[in-house]
């Protein structure tokens, strides 16, 4: 084929690459690359043309058709334009099952199409939406779910089937020559557009913690994706992509991927990309429909899909309002003129149908005292009188107000001893915020908002995440958490006991040894660490009933809500018998010095010692995590700063000095001013949620365990380091604000909106720079008292940079810049390893104070050495310097903050003028002696 040939349409395909074979020699059980007959099959598994012509596009529905073979003709397009069949699904079809994914039960249908389904040319079965039409299921909820599932799945996956079939045709006829100049844009005869990438090779097989098996594929990168220069250079002829399985539980697909990736199977592959198709967009809905197929407690199922036609008069009041004497409390709806009334305002639900007002003419009289108009009053009464109600009306008729009134009425009418929540669902976040805002304004504050799409600040305290952090756990939850903690501790401390105290470990291991049977071990894992938990609670191993009760509880099989199967019951009894036998063995073997004979106080002391031995390693790992985070945030900050610097010319180009460009210029300033906000928020969130709580409780933890050696490094620099990163973000933002002011200032006098922007930037920049200088004074005091010299130098440099920002704006500040620079120079000279790399930054700032231009970039690559090394903190070598600064001796040769040098207090100069001379001193002493 020609190297420059364009995309091949299905009508132009030529059957030159396929061989012809008789139908009886071709295997019908070969699907998805594997044969159902296994190695016993002797028939052909090749894609071919059938000689007898039974597989024709003209008659795809005949009983003798072979639907699971590739045809070189276009997919069947019926003349009557009907792409569905009414012949039932699966075994109900008179002509037999269409493919291996054609089932009566939708729960057996794979969400994504199978290979056999893609190759099938018979039209799919599709039930009609109208309940009056025939369906293979009886009318009801399952019938509705079946219809919705099949229709949604067809609409979502038909484009996949069409594109894959068309791609398979091209794969069958295309030459195997390397061709990197192909056109990847394709279109099927049915109009489905997709991208087709050739020469796909399995490069690498990876395993991800959450995604499971991940495979890296390479493919020939088309010329149009490389650009003319890259194409002529010969670079980037191959591109790669990482893919994971759509269904991680599909073991057959996983097996095929492994075989091909390891070279055990060979084949030719293409990569298909369907634009605009997102798997979670439809797969989650389809799986939920499968779960609801035979549900017996689906909401409103008797109304949404009734077994027989349902009239409005048959929809009665909700269960809570079906009592004979029940009445709704509508006091909260009273108008202001009626609020002084002492009698309760109640409203009974309608008990007759239809239109209760005709038979109960005075039923709605209480609504005349409310703030509702006539239409809203009728709607309110009808809604309260039905289990399922629907209200519609044009904009401005008070539908939202009606919803708020309904919510208030239902809440006020509930049983106070057993209140129930109300679920409010809206189509958009804005509508939900508006509805909840009206409820809040009417005094309803018991609100929990799900989702994080709200743009209203007042909703923050009502977000589910915020509320969950303030909730107090119940006693039962507290007991469950304690049991879970003990169980986890038992599993964690097993490693420590096994390595350091094998004799003690044997006391627990002997009790938990449940044999070699795989089933027993798998079931017993649910009660892992039960021996340690029983021992921590002060349990006596001779009390077999108490021990077996604990093991049985942790096992969870005896108390399960569902009835256990017979084999599960037998396994449980077998495990209990083994535990009983082990307990008797431990009592006999460890009669002398038995750990189980110790008192509860002695056990608690042992537990504390175990915690003390395990905590240093965990603390070391926390330091390593802090180091990685510091390096990551510093790297993101540097990249964001470089992005702002490199795109400064773009702002000048995009800024429009026009009276009609006010909105555009305002958005331009806002976008550039917020470019550091994402990095800044990450830093502050991690500092507030992880670093600060850790440092506040670290020393208390060591004191509680009565082992201060856990923290050989009591001076922790991490909170101050994250504060420094925050102020660096603010510095970059304010420097960009100064640059934007310089661009816009020449046009401020002529354009009012530009003057407003310039004045606003000046005010905000001045205020924030002043606040940051003040905040850095406090941080400098902390760093100086803790002898964090490297941090102190960097804090001073950032503080001086804020002063530079104010000076560029023409704003004065009382910061003693000369003294600060002298202190920086003195520290850099004394601590050459820890603070020496900042000498270049010092010289840049000093040159500015001497009248030079302000520095464009303050911190160079050499200053990132501290951050880079902390990101590579090696666990297991934690130590501290004489000043108490923690660091890894494997990563740093000396303390990265102070080089291990202790603070030296310089003696104050002596003022000899205030002391007596020698002669005067002797005269004074002589006079005292005489007296």
pLDDT of res. 457:
85
193-197/34-35 β-pairing: unpaired
* Residue of 162 and 236 predicted with greater confidence: 162
- Angle value at C-alpha 557, between 552 and 561, nearest 5 degrees: 125
Q: Is pLDDT at 663 greater than 50 in this prediction?
A: yes
Assigned token pair, 271 = 């990569």
Start-to-end C-alpha separation, the chain: 128
Can you tell me the distance from the alpha carbon of 787 to that of 798, in angstroms, rounded to the nearest whole number? 18
Section 44-70 average pLDDT = 49
* Residue of 819 and 250 predicted with greater confidence: 819
Q: In the chain, how many H helices and how many E strands?
A: 30, 14
Can you tell me the distance from the alpha carbon of 805 to that of 816, in angstroms, rounded to the nearest whole number? 15
Section 590-618 average pLDDT = 65
pLDDT tens for 190-204 read 889 999 998 888 888
Section 705-717 average pLDDT = 54
Which residues, other chains included, contact 803 with Cβ-Cβ below 8 Å and sequence gap of 6+? 769, 773, 813, 815, 817
In whole angstroms, how far apart are CA 115 and each of 17, 165, 336? 21, 9, 70
- Angle value at C-alpha 728, between 723 and 733, nearest 5 degrees: 130
* Closest of 683, 687, 619 to residue 886, by C-alpha: 619
Q: Is pLDDT at 380 greater than 70 in this prediction?
A: yes
Crossing angle between the packed helical segments 475-500 and 502-512, to the nearest 10 degrees: 130
pLDDT of res. 582:
74
- 3-state helix, strand, coil split of the chain in percent (to 5) is 55, 5, 40
Section 684-690 average pLDDT = 85
pLDDT band of 59, cuts 50, 70, 90: very low
Q: Is pLDDT at 172 greater than 60 in this prediction?
A: yes
Residues 403, 424 contacting (CB under 8 angstroms)? yes
Q: Is pLDDT at 875 greater than 60 in this prediction?
A: yes
271-273/238-244 β-pairing: unpaired
> What is the percent of the chain with per-residue pLDDT over 90, rounded to a whole number?
7
**Burial of 108 from C-beta contacts in 10 A (0-12 / 13-18 / 19+):** exposed
pLDDT band of 716, cuts 50, 70, 90: confident
Assigned token pair, 202 = 């399995």
**Burial of 637 from C-beta contacts in 10 A (0-12 / 13-18 / 19+):** buried
Can you tell me the distance from the alpha carbon of 410 to that of 405, in angstroms, rounded to the nearest whole number? 9
Give the phi and the psi of residue 501 in degrees, each rounded to 5: -130, 70
Give CA torsion, residues 244, 245, 247, 251, to 10 deg.
-130
Q: Which residue carries 């921590």 as its tokens?
A: 536
Section 489-506 average pLDDT = 61
Residues 67, 49 contacting (CB under 8 angstroms)? no
Q: Is pLDDT at 910 greater than 80 in this prediction?
A: no
pLDDT of res. 617:
64
pLDDT band of 5, cuts 50, 70, 90: very low
Instruction: Tell me: cis bond preceding 354? Omega within 30 of 0 counts.
Output: yes
- Angle value at C-alpha 910, between 904 and 912, nearest 5 degrees: 170
Residues 510, 586 contacting (CB under 8 angstroms)? yes
Section 833-857 average pLDDT = 74
Look over the chain and give the mean of its residue pLDDT values, rounded to a whole number: 76
Q: What is the DSSP letter of 565?
A: P
Q: Is pLDDT at 714 greater than 80 in this prediction?
A: no
Can you tell me the distance from the alpha carbon of 829 to that of 847, in angstroms, rounded to the nearest whole number? 18
pLDDT band of 81, cuts 50, 70, 90: low
* Residue of 803 and 899 predicted with greater confidence: 803
Element (H, E) at 843: helix 839-849
pLDDT tens for 333-367 read 888 777 667 777 888 887 544 444 444 556 677 88
Q: Is pLDDT at 456 greater than 50 in this prediction?
A: yes
pLDDT band of 53, cuts 50, 70, 90: very low
* Residue of 462 and 515 predicted with greater confidence: 462
Section 41-69 average pLDDT = 50
Assigned token pair, 893 = 């040769």
pLDDT tens for 737-760 read 888 888 899 988 888 888 888 888
Q: Which residue carries 């670093």 as its tokens?
A: 691
pLDDT of res. 148:
92
Collapsed DSSP state (helix, strand, coil) of residue 447: coil
SS3 of 315-370: CCCCHHHCCCCCCEECHHHECHHHCCCCCCCEECCCCCCCCHHHHCCCCCHHHHHE
Can you tell me the distance from the alpha carbon of 630 to that of 724, in angstroms, rounded to the nearest whole number? 10
Characterize 114-141 residue by residue with b for buried, 16 or more Cβ atoms within 10 angstroms of its Cβ, and e for exposed. bbbbbbbbbbbbbbeeeeeeebeeeebb
pLDDT of res. 29:
61
pLDDT tens for 628-651 read 888 888 888 888 888 888 888 888
Element (H, E) at 702: helix 692-704
Tell whether pTM > 0.85: no
pLDDT of res. 706:
47
pLDDT of res. 646:
82
User: Domain residue spans in the chain?
Assistant: 179-292, 325-353+365-422, 423-469, 501-559+566-611, 615-888
- Give the range among 322-331, 443-452, 471-480, 793-802 with minimum mean pLDDT: 471-480
pLDDT of res. 611:
61
**C-alpha R_g of the chain:** 39
pLDDT tens for 523-562 read 555 555 567 667 777 777 777 777 777 666 666 554 444 4
pLDDT of res. 288:
92
Can you tell me the distance from the alpha carbon of 201 to that of 206, in angstroms, rounded to the nearest whole number? 15
pLDDT of res. 361:
54
pLDDT of res. 194:
92
Give CA torsion, residues 726, 731, 733, 734, to 10 deg.
140
Characterize 374-409 residue by residue with b for buried, 16 or more Cβ atoms within 10 angstroms of its Cβ, and e for exposed. eebbbbbbbbbbbeeeebeeeeeeeeeebbbbbbbb
pLDDT of res. 542:
72
Give CA torsion, residues 637, 643, 644, 650, to 10 deg.
-170
Section 247-254 average pLDDT = 79
- Give the range among 160-169, 232-241, 511-520, 553-562 with minimum mean pLDDT: 553-562
Which residues, other chains included, contact 838 with Cβ-Cβ below 8 Å and sequence gap of 6+? 790, 793, 794, 797, 824, 828, 859, 863
């Amino acid at each position: 084929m020609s190297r420059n040939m364009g995309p091949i349409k299905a009508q132009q395909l030529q059957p030159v690459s396929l061989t012809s074979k008789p139908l009886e020699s071709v295997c019908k059980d070969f699907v998805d690359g594997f044969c159902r007959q296994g190695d016993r099959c002797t028939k052909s598994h090749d894609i071919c043309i059938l000689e007898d012509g039974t597989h024709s596009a003209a008659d795809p529905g005949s009983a003798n058709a072979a639907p699971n073979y590739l045809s070189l003709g276009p997919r069947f397009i019926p003349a009557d334009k009907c792409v569905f069949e009414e012949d039932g699904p699966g075994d109900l079809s008179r002509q037999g099952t269409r493919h291996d994914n054609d089932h009566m039960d939708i729960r057996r249908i794979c969400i994504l199409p199978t290979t056999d389904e893609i190759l099938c040319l018979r039209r799919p079965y599709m039930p009609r939406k109208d309940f009056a039409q025939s369906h293979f299921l009886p009318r009801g909820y399952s019938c509705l779910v079946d219809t919705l599932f099949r229709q949604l799945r067809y609409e979502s996956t038909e484009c996949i089937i069409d594109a894959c079939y068309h791609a398979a045709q091209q794969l069958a006829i295309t030459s195997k020559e390397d061709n990197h100049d192909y056109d990847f844009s394709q279109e099927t005869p049915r109009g489905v557009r997709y991208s087709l990438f050739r020469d796909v090779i399995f490069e690498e097989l990876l395993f991800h913690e959450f995604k499971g098996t991940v495979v890296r594929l390479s493919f020939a990168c088309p010329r149009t994706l490389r650009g003319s220069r890259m194409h002529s250079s010969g670079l980037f002829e191959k591109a790669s992509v990482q893919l994971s399985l759509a269904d991680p539980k599909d073991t057959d697909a996983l097996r095929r991927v492994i075989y091909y990736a390891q070279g055990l199977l060979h084949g030719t592959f293409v990569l298909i990309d369907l634009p605009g198709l997102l798997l979670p967009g439809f797969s989650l809905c389809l799986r939920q429909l499968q779960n609801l197929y035979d549900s017996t407690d689906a909401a409103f199922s008797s109304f949404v899909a009734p077994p027989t036609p349902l009239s409005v008069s048959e929809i009665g009041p909700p269960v809570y309002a079906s009592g004979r004497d029940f009445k709704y409390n509508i006091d909260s709806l009273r108008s202001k003129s009626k609020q002084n009334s002492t009698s309760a305002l109640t409203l009974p639900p309608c008990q007759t149908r239809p239109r209760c007002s005709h038979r109960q003419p005075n039923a709605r009289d209480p609504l005349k005292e409310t703030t509702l108009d006539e239409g809203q009053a009728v709607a309110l009464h009808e809604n309260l009188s039905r289990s399922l109600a629907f209200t519609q009306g044009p904009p401005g008729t008070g539908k939202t107000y009606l919803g708020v009134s309904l919510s208030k009425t239902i809440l006020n009418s509930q049983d106070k001893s057993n209140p129930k929540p109300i679920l409010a669902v809206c189509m958009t976040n804005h509508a939900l915020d508006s509805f909840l805002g009206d409820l809040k304004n009417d005094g309803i504050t018991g609100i929990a908002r799900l989702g994080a799409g709200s743009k209203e600040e007042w909703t923050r305290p009502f977000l589910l995440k915020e509320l969950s952090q303030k909730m107090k756990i119940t006693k039962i939850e507290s007991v469950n958490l304690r049991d879970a903690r003990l169980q986890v501790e038992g599993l964690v401390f097993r490693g420590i006991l096994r390595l350091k105290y094998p004799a003690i470990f044997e006391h627990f291991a002997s009790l938990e040894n449940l044999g070699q049977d795989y089933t027993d071990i798998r079931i017993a894992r649910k009660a892992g660490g039960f021996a340690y938990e029983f021992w921590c609670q002060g349990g006596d191993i001779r009390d077999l009933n108490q021990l077996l009760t604990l093991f049985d509880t942790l096992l969870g099989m005896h108390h399960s809500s569902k009835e256990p199967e017979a084999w599960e019951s037998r396994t449980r009894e077998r495990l209990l018998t083994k535990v009983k036998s082990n307990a008797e063995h431990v009592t006999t073997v460890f009669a002398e010095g038995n750990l189980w004979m110790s008192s509860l106080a002695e056990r608690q002391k042992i537990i504390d010692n175990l915690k003390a031995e395990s905590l240093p390693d965990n603390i070391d790992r926390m330091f390593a995590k802090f180091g990685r985070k510091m390096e990551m945030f510093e790297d993101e900050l540097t990249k964001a700063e470089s992005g702002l610097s490199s795109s400064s010319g773009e702002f000048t180009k995009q800024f429009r000095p026009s009276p009609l460009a006010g909105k555009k210029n305002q958005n331009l300033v806002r976008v550039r001013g917020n470019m550091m906000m994402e990095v800044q928020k990450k830093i502050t969130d991690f500092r507030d949620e992880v670093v600060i709580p850790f440092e506040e409780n670290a020393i208390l933890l060591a004191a509680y365990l009565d082992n201060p050696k856990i923290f050989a490094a009591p001076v922790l620099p991490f909170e101050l380091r994250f504060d420094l990163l925050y102020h660096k973000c603010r510095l970059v933002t304010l420097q960009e604000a100064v640059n934007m002011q310089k661009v816009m200032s020449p046009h401020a006098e002529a354009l009012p909106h530009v003057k407003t922007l310039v004045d606003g930037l000046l005010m905000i920049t001045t205020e924030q720079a002043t606040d940051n200088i003040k905040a850095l004074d406090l941080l400098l005091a902390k760093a100086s008292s803790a002898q964090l010299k490297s941090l102190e130098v960097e804090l001073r440099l950032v503080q001086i940079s804020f002063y530079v920002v104010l000076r560029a704006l023409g704003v004065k500040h009382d910061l003693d810049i000369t003294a600060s620079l002298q202190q920086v120079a003195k520290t850099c000279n004394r601590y050459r390893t820890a603070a020496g790399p900042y000498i270049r930054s010092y010289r840049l700032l000093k040159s500015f104070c001497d009248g030079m231009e302000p520095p464009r970039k303050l911190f160079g690559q050499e200053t990132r050495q501290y951050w880079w090394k902390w990101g590579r903190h090696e666990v297991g070598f934690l130590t501290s310097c004489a000043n108490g600064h923690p660091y890894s001796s494997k990563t740093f040769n000396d303390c990265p903050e102070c080089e291990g040098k202790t603070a030296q207090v310089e003696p104050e100069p002596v003022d000899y003028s205030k002391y007596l001379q020698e002669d005067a001193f002797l005269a004074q002493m002589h006079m005292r002696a005489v007296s």
